[in-house]
Structure 1
């Protein structure tokens, strides 16, 4: 973080799982399977290792500063932002609504547990900046978290820091 900025203007927002939306998306998959129907053209269905998370923005004038994440054990987490103000009770999630780049961080199975997490720094920087842009026009944003290679939601802590424009 730039030390010339006022540290009191820092705002750290934690990603929070949204169990109701995750369950609603799982019900959509289950309903399609039971009825033998196919997903709509371009529809993005929730995979078993994914969950819906959200960020609530108390302020819309934000600039991205940095990520904070920790993962006990090993595994890979990918975070995909949803650019539309998505309401799964009214509309299906479409692939065109997913942001690029995605955020990815991981620790390999052979790495010591106290080794630092690895991540794609340029992608994570751009992803954080995109979130700050979208925060200017909304109060909440949704994300798909995918837990792979042994990662579990209970072992994850993930938040993002912004500076607040005065």
Structure 2
């Protein structure tokens, strides 16, 4: 699943952190803590080790091809798709809007840095196909990235490759 050369008919879309949305979600948590209020029933608050990323679809007729993920060092990265569109007034993230399956990539502490990342291949295939399906009706899709066990955003490169339906 590490970075590979993409044929010219393949589109590689890189996940980009949405720092503004991540910050708004962190402010929501902070505001609730300061005021002593509780989250709304079913609301999913952003955890300290999570960030919001996005994919922008310029072409919406896609067929999933593969994941390209590289991680420096060891750790675990979990990617969860979100089914909602965000509005400028920051619609709260609700648990029911989290998609399955989730994607998980990891490298154990004892593994050499050059070793291939581990993942659950069937889940990653299904997740990629689900993203391609949602791209048909969206121009942007949001994801929660969770960094655990030593993984850091700065050491992660993550993209997903698609073929255009028009090429088939």
Q: What is the number of residues matched between the two proteins? A: 160
Counterpart of 2:94?
A: 94
Q: Which runs of 5+ in 2 are unaligned?
A: 1-6
Displacement, 1:85?
1.6
Alignment of 1:55-134 (within 5 A): 55-87=55-87, 89-134=89-134
The 2-side partners of 1:90 and 1:157 are apart by: 27
The 1-side partners of 2:67 and 2:88 are apart by: 27
Distance 1:41 1:88, change over 3 A: farther
- Structure 1 segments, 4+ long, off by >3 Å, are none
TM-score (normalised: structure 1): 0.94
Counterpart of 2:10?
A: 10
**Could you tell me whether the CA contact under 8 Å between 1:25 and 1:88 is conserved in 2?**
no
Cα RMSD (Å): 0.9
The 1-side partners of 2:25 and 2:41 are apart by: 16
**Could you tell me whether the CA contact under 8 Å between 1:57 and 1:135 is conserved in 2?**
yes
Q: Deviations over 1:2-43 (max 9, x none)?
A: xxxxx4321000000010000000000000000000000000
| Partner secondary structure for residue 143 of structure 2 | strand
